[in-house]
A and B are shown apart, each in its own frame.
Chain A
């Protein structure tokens, strides 16, 4: 990092043209803009503008045809908080996020341990675990919807053949059961990323650490809980934050399997936001809910980058 201030170009050019004229100075000031500008423009145009637009819409009366009817203050928010379904949906969202992320992390810890162990065919097993990560979540969700079908699904067939259940269960008809099933699907698609992140963390732990623990006479379990797990803490932090955000924003699973129904009985804030805007044509109220969601995610994102920075500093 010592000579990071001198660009290679300057180093090379300084022997040839040492004179500094105003256009050269101006040019140097504008150079970063030429290289970085387009990326910034894309982010501003597609991330910042919509964020601003969303806040503006949430304070605007929007007719069902999409025309703006002027500033309306916090009426959209009042309407949103007046919805009878809002509180259950918020609770369900909390359950969705906490439940899915907690189970994902717990299972991934074990899974990463398996993926890190030496055995024949490990490469293939790792590729197998990748499949739900690479595949479209929508298609995976549709697949589970079909497999959970009460008449034609393979899940009931399997459970009946093994004697677990007597008669077919209509998994997606009862809101609570359906929601639990969808949480399971959400875990299924979150596992690959999470276990790979934890696997990467495991690979950074030097072998000598385990060597030392063995010399000290620590057993497998004790080594895991007193050495591995504490060393994985930064990795688990990153994995949980990214998972929380992804799971919070998850849309295709619920949309493909129940559309949040019956009624709004299996909606999370994300699917409810979509319904308000594009089924109920109430863009203003949807924007209000989106702003609430957005604020939550922004808090998480800032918390994450703060944590990531602190970790970066700790490592340096």
Chain B
């Protein structure tokens, strides 16, 4: 038997969909602007829809010489991938060990992680810059990788720690009885069971690095070490305004990330609030 449609549900649905439109509309505008031919963009007043749908913008943007999007896309992928790998390589063992053992300094470690989570690289920018100058690491990819990995590490540790803690000890003990060592138990039993946490940590770090802006513009300067965020403003300068390209590339950068982000949505809040909100 179908339940009758209540006015309350109709109202809620209307409000809900209006909310969705409000959040997506600006990005729809981004899409429509990316599809306008250049002369149309500079003809006031603007039209809501493109007069000519210039799909070629999405092809031609790859041919622009300054900024070179292929190079930036590749570099952003490399840096984000490496930062994610580093954050996991360092965060996984720490989170696992902390979840399973009481050791001296455990409380301090967790406290430091909690405090670090409260810092953005912005707050420490001048210090980071001076350190990188001292190390002679300015304008290198490893500087971006290490800094991004470090600032995303607290989230990784926190969420992985929560996942490992939630896995019953018996699962591991069964592996020990079968003669497995700690490393084997970790890689064969714990890691697969904590996979949702690992994926969440990885996706979060990847996206954070992918979107990072202030460290990129401060630390790197050469054209062949240009992240997407550093490249994109280059489409609109005092010499040329190519908003259609700027938004075409923005969409290319945003769409995959939104899909990834939606996939980890339900795990995010717990990790970001360090478990104080589940």
Contacts and interface: CB of A to CB of B under 8 A. Distances in A.
Q: Do A and B bind each other?
A: yes
B105 interface: yes
Nearest to B218: A278
B125 A274 contact: yes
Given A54-B126, A143-B29, A277-B129, A35 B16 contact: no
A151 interface: yes
A66 B133 contact: yes
Contacts of B220: none
Nearest to B214: A251
Contacts of A117: 12, 16
A134 B19 contact: no
A311 B118 CA distance: 17
A88 interface: no
A308 B123 contact: no
Given A138-B213, A251-B213, A200 B278 contact: yes
A130 interface: yes
Interface in A257-271: 270
Residues of B in contact with A, size category:
35 or more
Interface string A275-297: 00110000100110010011001
Interface string B33-47: 100000001101110
Contacts of A170: none
A102 interface: no
Interface stretch (B54-62, B64-72, B171-179): B171-179
B123 A147 contact: no
Helix, strand, loop or mixed for chain A's interface? helix
A217 interface: no
A111 to B, nearest CB: 7
B269 A4 contact: no
Interface in B179-211: 181-182, 185, 207, 210-211
B206 to A, nearest CB: 11
Contact of B277 (A49, A200, A250, A286): A200
Contact of A39 (B16, B23, B91): B91
B115 A42 contact: no
Interface string A164-194: 0000100000000000000000001001110
A128 interface: yes
B237 interface: no
B48 A35 contact: no
Contact of A46 (B27, B151, B243): B151
Contact of A52 (B96, B127, B260): B127
Interface string A144-165: 1011000111101100100000
A12 interface: yes
Contacts of B153: 39, 42-43
Given A135-B258, A301-B115, A242 B273 contact: yes
Contacts, number: 309
B172 A238 contact: no
Interface in B219-278: 228-229, 232-233, 236, 243, 246-247, 250, 253-254, 257-258, 260-262, 265, 268-270, 272-278
Helix, strand, loop or mixed for chain B's interface? helix
B140 interface: no
A111 B101 contact: no
Residues of A in contact with B, size category:
35 or more
Contact of A294 (B45, B123, B250): B123
A130 B269 CA distance: 12
Nearest to A235: B277
Interface string B145-178: 0110111011001000000000001001100110
A131 B24 contact: yes
Given A43-B113, A50-B131, A131-B258, A143 B276 contact: no
Contact of B173 (A12, A119, A120): A12
Given A277-B125, A290-B125, 13 more contacts: A7-B100, A9-B182, A35-B93, A40-B94, A43-B113, A45-B146, A46-B128, A50-B124, A125-B17, A142-B232, A156-B45, A196-B265, A199-B269
**Which A-B residue pairs are the 4 nearest by beta carbons?**
A50-B127, A54-B127, A46-B150, A35-B97
5 contacts: A8-B169, A36-B94, A143-B247, A193-B272, A301-B119
